Amino acid sequence: MSKALKVALDGGPYALAAGSDGAMWVTLVHSGAIARVSVGGEVTTYAIADGARPSIIAAGPDGALWFTRSGDDRIGRITTAGELSAFELPEGSAPFGIAAGPDDAMWFTAMSTGEIGRVGTDGEISSVAVVGGMPSMITKGPDDALWFTLNEAGAVGRLTVDGALTVRELPTAAAGPVGIAATHDDAVWFTEIRADKVGRIPVHDAIQELELPGKPHAVVADPTDGVWVSLWGADQIARISGDGEVVTIDLPSGSEPHGLAIGPDGACWVALECGFVLKMPT
């Protein structure tokens, strides 16, 4: 069993990812910085740039953390020693989601230009597909394809590393999908922030939806079973078991929960834009 932990973080904690050093790394979207939170709650902050708006962060195949800079059109990289670097995208790209692919590279979404891009660990950037529809978050699926939400199109896309694209329209119109995550049951889960639902796509089957009021934002697979979901509009997080049972946990009013990540010990962490990160007890 691990205990709950609450750590204060100025600057708008938005997303987080577990690093290869066992710490949690957090984007601070308002202050333009990245924070490292140790297992004991000690914080180290690394300034990036005013207006950078670091958004989503993910562990890379090279042991570093990679993140999108939606405010100044860059992909950022930070080593566990705190060494920063950045790779420029075309102006107006607005990168947002990022995830490690099956090919030792990072894959990202560009919201404004509607592209799915790839950046190698050497920093080489390429645009793999133009998908439109405001691509948001992205994940590597259980089938080694890249799955992503299309927020404005109300759809979920699937892209193979060689560029084969499939787009599946959601059953609920104008659902506004955002978060997406692969799970242990050969499925991909996603959130529908405008429709107050979460969805599940078994790789070879039809899309399923579940009512979950509170503007679901991010989703992450629980290591044991099911998923965790942040309910941005309700100041809650929810845990959904593999058989669909929902348990909600109340957070302080005004928390604005966004990103979720699983720590090395299997505990779920959540970033609260109001100025904290929380580690849930296991």
CA atoms within 13 A on the CB side of 161: 13
For 36, 104, 110, 205, 220, the CA distances from 268, given in Å and listed in that order, are 16, 26, 27, 28, 9
| CA Rg value for the chain | 17
Residue 138: how many other CB atoms lie within 10 Å: 26
| pLDDT over threshold 70, residue 1 | no
Eight-state DSSP code of residue 226: S
Q: How far apart, in whole angstroms, are the C-alpha atoms of residue 76 and residue 28?
A: 13
Q: How far apart, in whole angstroms, are the C-alpha atoms of residue 95 and residue 75?
A: 8
Contact between 147 and 162 (Cβ < 8 Å): no
Q: What is the mean pLDDT of residues 85-94?
A: 97
Average pLDDT, the chain: 96
Verify whether residue 184 is a known catalytic residue: no
Structural domain boundaries of the chain?
5-279
CA atoms within 13 A on the CB side of 180: 30
Buried b (16+ CB within 10 A) or exposed e, 161-172: beeeeeeeebeb
pTM: 0.97
28-62 pLDDT, tens digit each: 999 999 999 999 999 999 999 999 999 999 999 99
Compute, in degrees rounded to 10, the torsion defined by CA atoms 262, 121, 54, 236. -20
Q: How far apart, in whole angstroms, are the C-alpha atoms of residue 2 and residue 261?
A: 15
For residue 43, report the phi and psi dihedrals to the nearest 5 degrees. -115, 135
| pLDDT over threshold 80, residue 105 | yes
| pLDDT over threshold 70, residue 250 | yes
Eight-state DSSP code of residue 253: T
Q: What percent of the chain has pLDDT over 70?
A: 100
Pairing of strands 13-18, 115-120: unpaired
Q: How confident is the model at residue 204 (pLDDT cuts 50, 70, 90)?
A: confident
DSSP secondary structure letters along 114-132: TEEEEEETT--EEEEEE--
For residue 118, report the phi and psi dihedrals to the nearest 5 degrees. -130, 135
Residue 216 CA to its chain's centroid (Å): 13
Considering the domain 5-279, what is its CATH architecture?
Answer: 7 Propeller (2.130)
